[in-house]
Amino acid sequence: MKPALLEVMRMNRICRMVLATCLGSFILVIFYFQSMLHPVMRRNPFGVDICCRKGSRSPLQELYNPIQLELSNTAVLHQMRRDQVTDTCRANSAMNRKRRVLTPNDLRHLVVDEDHELIYCYVPKVACTNWKRLMMVLTGRGKYSDPMEIPANEAHVSANLKTLSQYSIPEINHRLKSYLKFLFVREPFERLVSAYRNKFTQKYNTSFHKRYGTKIIKRQRKNATQEALRKGDDVKFEEFVAYLIDPHTQREEPFNEHWQTVYSLCHPCHIHYDLVGKYETLEDDSNYVLQLAGVGSYLKFPTYAKSTRTTDEMTTEFFQNISSEHQTQLYEVYKLDFLMFNYSVPNYLKLE
């Protein structure tokens, strides 16, 4: 059965279970932005004419005001994903009220493409390198044509892309209202294992070993050797999990972006995302965004088989040695990401 069809079936079940409570407007920076009040595929959902590029329709118009009156299966699927986020935010509105104000600093992950009126919230370990490459092509005005010719390290140079945090408050407000906003998500624990494997099992990631590995070993490993305390390059997954659920960790500083929740990186209960792409349907969802942006005829999402990719089977193995108590505590940390993006509780979990 196709992933998209399985997702629709899961959503139908979850929609009947979610309890909706009252959701008010959220304050974004110092102005009001009603983020989650879009009804089902209504025409012109903003109540005003959407600004579009000269001589063409904007991505928002293509999405919400399609020329074809009959909605495609893809459009319906993405509407269901938006509804899932909205329902989860409503059901957890008490948590959202704790954080009513976003500052420009909270918008550092939202990459802006002025030419095509796009805002992309990048989530590490969810194909963000290739999506940053695409955004460099889209914003480069001819400087780049093939995204795969852009070196991975260059895609992560902050100066190469402009983020929403660099704009004034009125400019932020305008773009949030007028641009198509999208993000890509992944099964939370698969993403977590991917981050662990990349940052703590690769010898070249010495900066992560020094900054986080040494700290994790010092706190979580009894009788650690002086070499381990100095290098921090042999962190066990069990120690990494213990570090994440340790209340001291969460009080000390925000999680690193590679294992921070999508809820905290992209603020989907404060910012209305028009499209939620998924790692499991990465190519289709990515090309749908490019189609809406009017560049789908000549720009495609890069595809290649990655032999080192973290799989569900691999994730299952990593959780074998995690106690049920720690599994339960870790699930609580990432629970909103599971619910909001319609990921089932993994079968391998032994929740208390």
Q: Starting at the edge strand that comes first in sequence, how are the strands of the sheet with 110-113 ordered?
A: 110-113, 118-121, 180-185, 275-278
Who contacts 210 (Cβ-Cβ below 8 Å, separation ≥6)? 232
Residue 185 in contact with residue 81, Cβ under 8 Å? no
User: Which of 39-43, 219-223, 236-240, 284-288 is predicted with the least confidence, judged by mean pLDDT?
Assistant: 39-43
Query: 277 forms bridges with which residues in the sheet?
Result: 184
Pairing of strands 275-278, 31-33: unpaired
- Read off the pLDDT of residues 297-335 as tens digits, 9 standing for 90 and up: 999 999 876 778 899 999 999 999 999 999 999 999 999
- Read off the pLDDT of residues 46-98 as tens digits, 9 standing for 90 and up: 333 333 344 478 999 999 988 876 778 999 999 999 999 999 999 998 666 66
Q: Coil, strand or helix: which one is 111? A: strand
What is the value of pTM for the model shown? 0.85
Could you give the maximum distance between any two Cα atoms of the chain, in Å?
68
SS (H, E, C) 121-134: ECCCCCCHHHHHHH
Residue whose entry in the numeric block shows the structure tokens 């959503």: 11
The residue with greater pLDDT, 350 or 55, is: 350
What is the distance between the alpha carbons of residues 97 and 276, in angstroms, rounded to a whole number?
Answer: 23
